[in-house]
Chain A
Amino acid sequence: DQQVKQNSPSLSVQEGRISILNCDYTNSMFDYFLWYKKYPAEGPTFLISISSIKDKNEDGRFTVFLNKSAKHLSLHIVPSQPGDSAVYFCAARGNPRSGAGSYQLTFGKGTKLSVIP
């Protein structure tokens, strides 16, 4: 049972345009969400996070949007650059203090972003 889903295995975007990566989750106990970027032969690098009490968080070219009612979040990258080409993972975490089982992160399977110069 996949609790965090990234339905697009890959995405190609022209340099300078917007990249939108999507993530859906099924567990309503998740209340903290993170995006990681991963290059080949390296560990994932933390990008940006959002708490369930917010619907938007921005950091430079990266913005994460959270729609709790739809159990959906998205990562927007504007403008996209060739160096953004990587695999992007969405991750979610529950809070035992609010009823979730643990603090462990549950990851999606990733979306490979290719930014074309």
Chain B
Amino acid sequence: KAGVTQTPRYLIKTRGQQVTLSCSPISGHRSVSWYQQTPGQGLQFLFEYFSETQRNKGNFPGRFSGRQFSNSRSEMNVSTLELGDSALYLCASSLGFGATDTQYFGPGTRLTVL
């Protein structure tokens, strides 16, 4: 079974631009979560989607948004990019939306904002 895939793997943008990252979950998985990883803050939760509905959102500004499609694929969007948005963005999928559902991560998208 194929794992979680994320595209693109690397991205370079300039301040003020916007960016869209894509995530395809493991086949059959219906829940997708997004995380931001930076050296100083570790992995920080962005949001989680299940059945096309945002179930939970982390403490990030409104410039960060996401959505999930009927095939469970998900996208996240960052508008008006800032230098501090440079990070590894990780997507994780799980079978369902529950306490013991294990999240499996993709390889991440490395975003650099210049």
Contact surface of A with B, Cβ cutoff 8 Å: 31-32, 34, 36, 41-46, 49, 51, 89, 91, 93, 95, 97, 102-110
Residue picked from A91, A103, A108, A109, most chain B C-beta under 10 Å: A103
Q: Which of B45, B97, B100, B105 contacts A43 (CB 8 A)?
A: B105
**Cβ contact within 8 Å between A102 and B56:** yes
Contact surface of B with A, Cβ cutoff 8 Å: 4, 6, 33, 35, 41-45, 48, 55-56, 58, 90, 92, 97-108
A104 CB contacts on chain B under 8 angstroms? 33, 45, 48, 56, 58
Seed contacts A103-B56, A103-B98, A109-B42; 11 additional CB < 8 Å A-B pairs: A31-B99, A34-B103, A43-B90, A43-B106, A44-B43, A44-B90, A102-B56, A103-B97, A104-B48, A106-B45, A109-B41
For this complex, 18 residue pairs linking A to B, each with C-beta atoms less than 8 Å apart, are A31-B99, A32-B100, A34-B103, A36-B105, A43-B4, A43-B6, A43-B90, A43-B92, A43-B107, A49-B100, A49-B102, A89-B42, A89-B43, A102-B48, A104-B48, A104-B58, A108-B42, A110-B42
A46 to B33: give the CA distance in the assembly, Å. Answer: 15
From B101, which residue of chain A is reached at the shortest CB distance?
A103
A42 CB contacts on chain B under 8 angstroms? 107-108
A91 CB contacts on chain B under 8 angstroms? 43
**Cβ contact within 8 Å between B105 and A45:** yes
B44 CB contacts on chain A under 8 angstroms? 107
B33 CB contacts on chain A under 8 angstroms? 104-105
From A51, which residue of chain B is reached at the shortest CB distance?
B100
**Cβ contact within 8 Å between A103 and B99:** yes
From B58, which residue of chain A is reached at the shortest CB distance?
A104
> Which 8 pairs from chain A and chain B are nearest by CB?
A43-B105, A109-B42, A107-B43, A95-B99, A102-B56, A44-B105, A43-B107, A104-B45
Closest CB in chain B relative to A2 CB, distance in Å: 9
**Cβ contact within 8 Å between A46 and B103:** yes
Closest CB in chain B relative to A68 CB, distance in Å: 16
Closest CB in chain A relative to B87 CB, distance in Å: 13
A92 to B33: give the CA distance in the assembly, Å. Answer: 15
A91 to B105: give the CA distance in the assembly, Å. Answer: 13
